[in-house]
């Protein structure tokens, strides 16, 4: 899908599909123009109630003259309008266009929107179009039979197109594509998305952008790094574990942010095996890894002025004769020993070694992304990311980014009273708490043992996988966290 923007006058639009967004109770300048140009068509359709302008509604009209068709898309009431409403309207347009024959369409960029200037509107349009049109068909022998939009031309009623608006469009597209990258990785089944495949994708990113350096450590080097917690999780698998390092360092003296992504390419639970029902969904247990790779890629493409390191401990978690066992004790990279009580609490183990590795970068901030606990899904559902931090001052910044992107976060506590629950009788720590309640918090407290820097832990277990369709988010991997983090990093002053 290609996006362009032009200041072509409406008179020059011929023989194609034109999309117009319209409020139910107000007229945008663009709507006025269309009315002028096409004999009051929109006004007539509103009068006859063929088109109401309600959010989620759309109507195809045929203005006879030179235009093939006009797609009217409702924006709802003007005083209820916001970014989320606009995204919903764009999604309605994208879905409608799938059932119309044209692959190239023109969209009138609305102006005079409450809370959204043209620059923001252009960005929302391109990004939401991309994400709404997203489908994952890699394993279907026959692609779905509907129109694939190849080109979207935005039309602005301004005299010229500003550089600012062009940049904004481009940036939104870059971010949209990196979300698609994360979704694709998450949607590949476990037999394809192995640790080796994650590594290959990371190496490809470095080939596409010279500002990115990628290193992949195999089992031998992981052993050399004393990442025994990662090795313990990997012990039951035939697949070699990989520790993937992505480095984007535009500023020798600038701030350094390390991102860590849980990369369990399939989580069977190991010997503490999970129930069979829904086990197939555990191919998404590498969503954190996909998110981190996508963020680093996008940050480099956007040339963000922050040094960014991505760390991905990647392995499967499977039972076998060589697998780690409940009761086993391993010495993590930090030197702290971990008693494995449940082999299904593997995420916190691989993250423990990655957090310790992060120390070597003397980071100003470390953020981990992990589908870490079922408990966070119970607590917050599929709409909210659980956010834990040892620097409360970072939260408002994260919340601001959440507001701007619609990728919501909810603050969670690192409750000190629970700390003793993960003390082990035989080692320094046990990998699950002595009581099963509040596991999202217990898991975060476990991670905190390996942290000696400002840190945010994002438990994305609820948001990373969609079991119901929503606007601009089909079922499956969602890529949630990418847009949030780019927005956060853009404005970051640590
Ligand atoms: N990958 C899972 C967490 C998960 C569960 C994500 C459900 C999404 C949906 C993690 O490795 C895990 O298995 N956690 C256990 C921890 C338990 C053994 C303390 C869990 O949440 O059940
Ligand atoms: Zn698990
Ligand atoms: Zn897991």
CA angle 222, 224, 225 (to 5 degrees): 65
Q: Is 371 in the pocket of ligand 1 (CB under 6 A)?
A: yes
Most ligand 1 atoms within 8 A of CB, residue of 345, 374, 385, 437 to mutate: 374
Please report which confidence band the pLDDT of residue 142 belongs to, taking 50, 70 and 90 as the band edges: confident
pLDDT in tens, 36-67: 999 999 999 999 999 999 999 999 999 877 89
The proportion of the chain whose per-residue pLDDT surpasses 70, expressed as a percent, equals: 100
- Look at residue 143 and tell me whether its pLDDT is greater than 80: no
pLDDT tens profile 331-368: 999 999 999 999 999 999 999 999 999 999 999 999 99
Ligand at minimal distance from the CA of 281 is 1
pLDDT tens for 418-464 read 999 999 999 999 999 999 999 999 999 999 999 999 999 999 999 99
- φ/ψ of residue 116, rounded to 5: -140, 110
pLDDT tens, 302-323?
Answer: 999 999 999 999 999 999 999 9
Q: Residues 248-270: pLDDT tens digits?
A: 999 988 999 999 999 999 999 99
Task: Give SS3 for 352.
Answer: helix
Question: Which residue from 268, 344, 466 has its CB within 8 A of the most atoms of ligand 1, so it is best to mutate?
Answer: 344
| 415-429 residue pLDDT tens | 999 999 999 999 999
User: Alpha-carbon distance 491 to 427, whole Å?
Assistant: 42
Task: Record the pTM.
Answer: 0.96
Question: What are 335's two structure tokens?
Answer: 């030197």
Nearest CA to 210 out of 343, 136, 300 is that of 300
Query: Which residues are known catalytic residues?
Result: 274, 348
Which ligand 1 atom is at minimum distance from the Cα of 442?
19
Ligand closest in space to the Cα of 279: 1
Distance CA 28, CA 301 (A): 35
pLDDT tens track for 269-305: 999 999 999 999 999 999 999 999 999 999 999 999 9
Label residue 494 by pLDDT band (50, 70, 90): low
Question: With a 6 A CB cut-off, is 347 part of the ligand 1 pocket?
Answer: yes
Which of 1, 9, 66, 7 is CA-nearest to residue 38? 66
pLDDT at residue 442, rounded to an integer: 98
pLDDT at 66: 84
* Nearest one of 392, 383, 313, 319 to 348, comparing CA atoms: 313
How far, in whole angstroms, is CA 24 from its chain's centroid?
A: 32
In short, whether 162's Cβ falls inside 6 Å of ligand 1 is no
DSSP output for 388-403: EES-GGGHHHHHHHHH
Expressed in angstroms and rounded, the spacing between residue 279 Cα and the centre of ligand 3 is: 11
* Per-residue pLDDT tens digits for 88-139: 999 999 999 999 999 999 999 999 999 999 999 999 999 999 999 999 999 9
Atom 17 (ligand 1) nearest CA: 345
């Amino acid at each position: 899908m290609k996006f362009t923007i032009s200041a072509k006058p409406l008179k020059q639009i011929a023989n194609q599909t034109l999309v117009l967004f319209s409020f139910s109770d107000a007229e945008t300048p663009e709507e006025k123009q269309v009315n002028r140009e096409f004999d009051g068509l929109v006004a007539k359709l509103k009068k006859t109630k063929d088109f109401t302008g309600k959010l989620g509604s759309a109507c195809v009209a045929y203005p006879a003259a030179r235009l093939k068709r006009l797609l009217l898309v409702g924006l709802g009431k003007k005083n209820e309008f916001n970014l989320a409403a606009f995204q919903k309207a764009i999604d309605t347009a994208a879905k409608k266009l799938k059932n119309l024959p044209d692959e190239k369409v023109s969209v009138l960029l609305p102006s005079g929107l409450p809370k959204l200037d043209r620059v923001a509107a252009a960005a929302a349009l391109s990004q939401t179009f991309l994400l709404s049109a997203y489908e994952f068909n890699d394993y279907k022998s026959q692609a779905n039979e509907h129109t694939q939009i190849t080109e979207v031309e935005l039309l602005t009623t301004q005299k010229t197109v500003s550089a600012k608006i062009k940049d904004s469009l481009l940036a939104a597209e870059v971010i949209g594509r990196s979300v698609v990258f994360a979704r694709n990785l998450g949607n590949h089944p476990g037999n394809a998305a192995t640790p080796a495949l994650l590594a290959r994708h990371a190496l490809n990113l470095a080939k596409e952008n010279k500002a990115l350096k990628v290193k992949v450590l195999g089992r031998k080097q992981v052993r050399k790094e004393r990442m025994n917690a990662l090795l313990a999780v990997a012990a039951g698998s035939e697949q070699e574990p990989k520790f993937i390092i992505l480095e984007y360092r535009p500023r020798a003296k600038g701030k350094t942010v390390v991102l860590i992504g849980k990369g369990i390419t399939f989580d069977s639970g190991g010997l503490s095996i999970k129930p069979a029902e829904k086990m197939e969904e555990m191919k998404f247990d590498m969503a954190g890894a996909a998110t981190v790779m996508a963020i680093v890629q996008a940050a480099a493409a956007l040339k963000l002025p922050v040094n960014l390191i991505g760390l991905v401990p990647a392995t499967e978690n499977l039972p076998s004769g060589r697998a780690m066992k409940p009761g086993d004790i391993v010495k993590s990279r930090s030197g702290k020993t971990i008693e494995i009580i449940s082999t299904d609490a593997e995420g916190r183990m691989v993250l423990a070694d990655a957090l310790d590795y992060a120390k070597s970068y003397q980071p100003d901030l470390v953020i981990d992304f992990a589908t870490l606990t079922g408990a966070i899904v119970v607590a917050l559902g599929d709409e909210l990311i659980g956010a834990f931090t040892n620097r409360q001052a970072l939260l408002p910044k994260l919340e601001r980014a959440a507001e701007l992107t619609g990728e919501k976060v909810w603050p969670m506590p690192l409750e000190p009273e629970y700390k003793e629950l993960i003390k082990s009788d035989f080692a320094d720590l046990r990998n699950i708490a002595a009581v099963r309640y509040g596991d999202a918090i217990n898991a975060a407290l476990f991670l905190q043992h390996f942290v000696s820097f400002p840190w945010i832990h994002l438990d994305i277990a609820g948001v990373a996988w969609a079991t119901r369709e929503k606007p601009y988010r089909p079922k499956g991997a969602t890529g949630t966290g990418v847009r949030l983090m780019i927005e956060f990093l853009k404005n970051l002053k640590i």
